[in-house]
Every structure is written in C-alpha cells, then in structure tokens.
C-alpha cells in the first residue's frame, strides 16, 4: 500500500509534549514519516521559511503531501479522519460521548494547568530534572489534575475509555510531570501514568530524545 509523504516538524531536542502527541498518533497509525527539527532556542521558528510552513510558527506542524497543519489536537483529528479504522489504529473512542470526553480532556490539558506546566516542565519527563517543591498555585493545579484522574479513570482499568486513545497519552504526560518527579500522587493514578509510559509508541518517542542526550 502506498502512503502519503508525511513530515513532522519537531523542536530540536524532542521536549515538546505536543510534538510527542503527534509522534505517538502517527506511530499508532503505523504511518511512516520524516522528522524535521526546528531549533526554538535559535529562533528558527521565527525565520521566514518556517513561517511559510507553519501558520502558528510553533511545533508541531505536520505536512501530509502538500497539506500543512499545526495544533496537535487538530492534527490528531485530521489523522483520524484521513486514516480511519479498521485499516488504521483508532486514536479516539468509537462511542460519540466518549469521543467528546477525550476531546474535552485534550482541550483542557492544552489550555489549563499553567502553574504545573511551569513548575514541572518537560525536562522532568525527558531529562530527569529535579526541581523545588510546588508552591500553592502548583499544588492547586496538581490537585485539580489528580481529582480529574480519579473521576475519569474507571476502577481496575489502565485506559480511560476501555481501550487506548490519544487522550491517555496526553493525560499521562501531564500526570507524569508529578509522578516521574516523585511528587505525591495516589498509587492507582501513578500506576496508570507508568502503564501509559510503557506503550511502544511512547517509548519510541523517548528513544528519539535519549538519542540526543
Ligand atoms: N497548542 C499547541 C501548542 C504548541 C506549542 O506551544 N509548542 C511550543 C513547544 S512545546 C512552541 O512551539 N513554542 C515556541 C514558541 O511559542 O515560540 C499544540 O497543541 O500544538
């Protein structure tokens, strides 16, 4: 079967959780792709050439043949529409309400939890960083995340919706800012975050960043 030509633009050191989400989505779909790196520290995303590629001048941006798209959750939905089940792995739940719940969680994770994102940056996930204890805002942010996990994760399950979806990977990224750092998280939720981290597509991503270390 012939596949389209797919390029994923990533940050140069593979520290972006949003690039990771698209990398995992492509890997789960079994789609071959080329990774291209943009050095954000050198402001390469502000160069003219990247402005012609990316509407947002952020990473990720995905190119599928001559179609260019930024914003990681929009990319996941585009991949799901373009490469549907059963031929390709599913990224979102089949059930409409569960699918809406997955998108709700993705949107929330991308628009909230700023104190947690600032105080537990992705260096914690991809470079083993150890940082100061959370301040009050950080603790409140962590508590909101943990409360959501306790509410959303069914007892005795390792995935939110019965089978893996891209929302599990996105959720595990945020939870692992705490879990991998050693911050207190209920065991059931920590187990979920660890389980999601073992997924082959996630391990492939971790190997990309480890290769540069
Ligand atoms: N909402 C976007 C967020 C993308 C984003 O913030 N990417 C960061 C790297 S993690 C970036 O490109 N930062 C460069 C900048 O904003 O100048 C998505 O989900 O794709």
Q: How far is the CA of 57 from the centre of ligand 1 (A)?
A: 8
Q: How far is the CA of 172 from the centre of ligand 1 (A)?
A: 18
- Given a cut of 80, whether residue 2 has pLDDT beyond it is no
Determine what percent of the chain is predicted with pLDDT higher than 90: 96
Work out the average pLDDT over 33-40. 97
The band of 143, judged by pLDDT with boundaries at 50, 70 and 90, is: very high
Work out the average pLDDT over 96-122. 98
Helix (H, G, I), strand (E, B) or coil at 212: helix
> Looking at ligand 1, which residue's alpha carbon is closest to its atom 6?
58
Q: How far is the CA of 188 from the centre of ligand 1 (A)?
A: 30
Q: What is the pLDDT of residue 36?
A: 97
> Could you count the other beta carbons within 10 Å of the beta carbon of residue 111?
8
This model's pTM is above 0.85: yes
Beta strand residue intervals within the chain, DSSP E: 6-11, 34-38, 61-64, 67-70
Residues with CB under 6 A from ligand 1: 11, 16, 18, 40, 45, 58-60, 71-73, 110
């Amino acid at each position: 079967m012939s596949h389209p030509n797919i390029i994923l633009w990533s940050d140069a050191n593979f520290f972006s959780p949003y690039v990771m989400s698209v990398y995992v989505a492509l890997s789960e779909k079994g789609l071959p792709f080329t990774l291209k790196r943009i050095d954000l520290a050198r402001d390469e995303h502000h160069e003219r050439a990247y402005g012609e590629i990316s509407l947002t001048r952020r990473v990720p941006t995905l190119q599928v043949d001559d179609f260019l798209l930024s914003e990681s959750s929009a990319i996941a939905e585009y991949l799901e529409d373009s490469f549907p089940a059963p031929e390709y792995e599913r990224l979102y739940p089949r059930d409409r309400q569960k699918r809406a719940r997955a998108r709700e969680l993705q949107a929330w994770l991308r628009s909230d939890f700023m104190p947690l994102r600032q105080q537990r940056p992705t260096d914690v996930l991809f470079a083993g960083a150890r940082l100061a204890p959370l301040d009050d805002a950080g603790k409140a942010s962590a508590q909101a995340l943990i409360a959501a996990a306790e509410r959303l994760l069914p007892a005795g399950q390792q995935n939110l919706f019965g089978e893996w979806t891209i929302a599990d990977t996105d959720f595990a990224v945020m939870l692992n800012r705490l879990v991998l750092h050693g911050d207190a998280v209920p065991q059931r939720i920590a187990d979920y975050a660890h389980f999601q981290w073992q997924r082959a597509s996630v391990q492939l991503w971790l190997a990309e960043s480890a290769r540069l270390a």
